[in-house]
A = this chain, B = another copy of it.
Amino acid sequence: MALSYGQLVNSGVGKQLAATLGLPRPAKLRRHVVGGSLVPGAVLVTGHGDAPVAERVRVLLDDAGVQVASKPSTSVAAVVLDLTAVESPADLETLRGVVGPALKTLAPTGRVVVVGRPPEEATSVAQAAARRAVEGIVRSIGKEMRAGGTANTVLVADGADAGVDATIRFLLSGRSAYVSGQVFRVGKPVAPIEAPADWDKPLAGKVAVVTGAARGIGAAITDTLARDGATIVAVDMPSAGGPLAEVANKLGGSALQLDVTADDAGAKIVEHAKARHGGFDIVVHNAGITRDKLLANTEADRWDSVLQVNLLSILRMNEALVPAINAGGHIVNVSSIAGIAGNRGQTNYAASKAGVIGMTQSLAADKTILKKGVTVNAVAPGFIETEMTAKVPFATREVGRLMNSLSQGGLPVDVAETIGYFSWDANRGVTGNVVRVCGQMMLGA
């Protein structure tokens, strides 16, 4: 039977766009509230065959005081489906049978989390096909979710189930409000997993260095990590000294004025953190700039300055930061959807942000880093509402806001929450990941 694949794709896109454009206003997302419950209702937890992760999730939810449902008959706030045991694409019928009916009665801001195993570790071609199919299904479900709901895939390596709890918690919680259509990969932990005494203070006792901390997303990162218990070293340009001091004062951390591109930037951060706080556990490389132009018109200095600030400075600072970061620590880099999909007029920026992905994956696998038990991950923000976004012309802004499954822009706190999750000591099985915080923006590679 002959096929028109394009037609089908198109018809779906059309429907998605139409549904998006027809919405009177986007759903209010469920964001993290200190002292609030993990998830506002019962969670349906089930799986195919053995489903060892489902069993872990039930225990986790029980500990968190969340009601667990085992049948799709009642309305639930979330669905966690364990497909780690699928052997063939035929086994995916379990997913249709569970998630299909559950979607009809899922509460607003619902969550669908499907847990599988990495296709590349499969022991048969049929198993690899089934495992890879999960991602295609969940990305489609993300595009069908309504009322601020999200759908994500978690791929857990064989023998690494203990590392999955942090990701399940993150995805069920309001911390992942603007994260949808993503694939999380959990491997063997790089250091022992340590659950926090209080899940409202997962970063208690930790020191976090944040670059570009004075404004916008950087300021949200400092707010969020401080809220979660971290002491902040807020780093920004001397020219941002005023707002930087405000951030540090408000949070009770310390401020450090420096140019991240300076040769001694890394050494200065290490010196400051040791002198003021006895060391540091978390580094967030957030500083960055843009100098947009079509490549044909991009002069050498416009090219170089973006690569220097957004990429080369991080490589240089890490020469000092990696040896000095506390064992079991966390490095988080800020990439961008432009680094994944490319972007017109941003060849230099896309170069730097794609480079951040290469750096993240390479450093995560570095022997020194692994020996120290440090995780290295990246966030890739999509359309995030900031002061700068507010200045974008109306039509352009609306396109950015609407071209995602949640039909709205994200908030700086959404990026910050994902960075926080990457920084938990309970989350040491996740390293080398690049997670988009984009509401499942349609754009991609």
Contacts and interface: CB of A to CB of B under 8 A. Distances in A.
Interface of A: 1-19, 88-90, 92-93, 96-97, 99-101, 103-104, 119-120, 122, 124-126, 128-144, 181, 212-219, 236-237, 240, 286-290, 292, 294-298, 300, 303-304, 307, 309, 311-312, 315, 318, 334, 336-359, 361-363, 366, 381-389, 391-393, 395-397, 399-401, 403, 409-410, 442-445
10 contacts: A3-B217, A90-B304, A100-B297, A103-B294, A119-B362, A129-B358, A136-B340, A136-B351, A340-B444, A444-B444
A311 B128 CA distance: 12
A358 B128 contact: yes
A237 B217 CA distance: 56
Contacts of A6: 381-386, 389, 400, 409-410
A358 B133 contact: yes
Nearest to A337: B9
Contact of A355 (B132, B288, B300, B349): B132
Contacts of A92: 303, 307, 351
B344 A12 contact: yes
Nearest to A239: B1
A138 B344 CA distance: 11
A343 to B, nearest CB: 4
Contact of A352 (B19, B89, B386, B388): B89
A217 B2 contact: yes
Contacts of A389: 4, 6-7, 10
